[in-house]
Amino acid sequence: MILSVWTLGLLLVTFGGAHGHTNFPANFVVAKRNDPHPVTLTCNTQTEEGVSWRLDGEEVELDNYVQMEGPNLKISEVDAPMLGEYSCWRGGTMLSSTYLFQELEEDVALDSLLNCRAKSYDCNFTCSWRDSRFTAVRLGLGHDCSEGQRSCRWETSGGGHVGELQFVLPHSLSPYAEESTTLELTAEAINTFYILRRTKTFYLRDIIQPDSPQIVRCQEVGHELNVTLDPPPSWSTPHSFFSLEYEIEYEMKDDGKVIESSFSTLIPKKISKLRVRSRDSLVLSAWSQWTAWQNVNH
């Protein structure tokens, strides 16, 4: 049965389709909506003899928008009815296949889809993907990824529910040198027929957020309490070079629920409990999460 791509398009689901890709196809082409330039799909063959094309298993009928150019297929004015998996055949043998996506034109910044954080200045950082509409997501660093080059080293999620994807991206920045080079992060996300591509640049220092510090001990010093704190185990070393500042919140015994804070490790002695958070003291990074409240008995 020969089915034109326009007729077949009536059978396709929209962006929110139930069946999406769990991995990126090995070969795919991205078309832009209303692009006057045609898209060419390449057949992996050395000869034109006996070559035909199918879209999602149905033989493609040639028309004004879909034409053969040698063994390859040229598609003009790509729209939803023309998206899907194209395969090139000779008789009953499939020679190659290419998935045709359309770029999703959505005015959304990458920051609203992705949250990245570095616990330290060491060799990697993590990103969390927030948008559950997509069924496969990958991230890459560098110009090769932003330009969609095959040389890009993509990082894919190690698992988890869609919308809760976690990525670890290695970088080659020196933790001891003044940071003058930005990181260029590209995200690609796909569903059944659409692909979203976004790129952002940032300094590693922009996403630094230490883990919560460690409360070692509280020691009375005259009329005050000296709180000894240690950086989190994940923080960069040596700590004399990668310094942290701390904020202590505490509750006074006599004031009930009144919470006060201090950036000094010397605090009033008559407190009932405290908690602490930290940040990079040089770049004034994002604060860590607070530690759990700790009761003070003295």
> β-strands 194-202, 93-103: how paired?
parallel
Q: What is the pLDDT of residue 11?
A: 32
CATH number of the domain to which 222 belongs:
2.60.40.10
Q: Which of 56, 82, 103 is the last residue of a domain?
A: 103
Domain-ending residue, one of 184, 207, 230:
207
Model pLDDT, residue 189: 92
How confident is the model at residue 16, as a pLDDT?
44
Cα atoms found within 13 Å of the Cα of residue 8, Cβ hemisphere only: 21
**45-49, long-range: CB < 8 A, 24+ apart:** 45/71, 45/88, 45/90, 45/95, 45/96, 47/71, 49/90
70 shares its domain with 163: no
Return d(Cα 264, Cα 218) in angstroms, integer.
13
Q: Which of 69, 84, 66, 80 is nearest to 34 (CA)?
A: 80
User: Do 30 and 60 have their domain in common?
Assistant: yes
81: CB partners within 8 A, 6+ apart: 5, 6, 7, 8, 9, 10, 12
Residue 48 CA to residue 142 CA, distance in Å, equals: 38
pLDDT at 111: 85
Q: What is the DSSP-derived secondary structure letter of residue 44? A: -
**pTM of the predicted structure, to 2 decimals:** 0.79
Determine the pLDDT at residue 112. 86
pLDDT tens digits along 211-236: 999 999 999 998 899 999 999 999 99
* Residues 86 and 41 reside in one and the same domain: yes
What's the rounded Cα separation, in Å, for the pair 15 and 37?
23
pLDDT reported for residue 12: 36
Question: What is the tens place of the pLDDT at every residue in 134-184?
Answer: 889 999 999 999 988 889 999 987 554 555 678 888 888 777 667 778 999
Determine contact, residues 277/287, Cβ cutoff 8 Å.
Answer: yes
Claim to verify: residue 27 and residue 76 sit in the same structural domain: yes
What b-and-e string marks burial along 63-82, b requiring 16 or more CB atoms within 10 Å of the CB? eebbeeeebbbebbebebbb
Chain center to CA of 103? 17
In a shared domain, residues 237 and 258? yes
Q: Which two tokens stand for residue 9?
A: 């398009």
- Asked if 79 and 34 count as a contact pair (C-beta separation under 8 A), the reply is no
Residues 98 and 145 in one domain: no
pLDDT of residue 206: 94
DSSP 8-state code for residue 7: H
pLDDT of residue 180: 75
Together in a domain, 174 and 234? no
DSSP 221-266: ETTEEEEEEE--TTS-S-TTTS-EEEEEEEEETTTTT-EEEESSSE
Q: Which of 207, 234, 251 is the last residue of a domain?
A: 207
Q: Which amino acid is at 284?
A: L
Backbone angles phi, psi at 208, to 5 degrees: -70, 130
Task: Give the count of domains, the chain.
Answer: 3
- Same domain (yes/no): 273, 255: yes
Asked whether residue 200 falls in the same domain as residue 231, the answer is: no
> What's residue 13's pLDDT?
37
β-sheet bridge partners, residue 229: 215
User: Within this chain, do residues 139 and 161 fall inside the same structural domain, yes or no?
Assistant: yes
One pLDDT digit (tens) per residue for the chain, 298 residues: 333 333 333 333 344 444 578 889 999 999 988 888 899 999 998 877 889 999 999 999 888 889 998 899 999 988 888 899 999 999 889 999 999 999 988 777 888 889 999 999 998 999 998 888 888 999 999 999 998 888 999 998 755 455 567 888 888 877 766 777 899 999 999 988 999 999 999 999 999 999 999 999 999 998 899 999 999 999 999 999 999 999 999 998 876 667 889 999 999 988 999 999 999 999 999 999 999 999 987 6
Rounded CA separation 269/255 (Å): 13
The boundaries of the domain holding residue 57 are 2-103
Query: Is there a single domain that holds both residue 172 and residue 129?
Result: yes
Instruction: Determine the pLDDT at residue 297.
Output: 79
Say which residues have a Cβ less than 8 Å from residue 238's Cβ, sequence separation at least 6: none
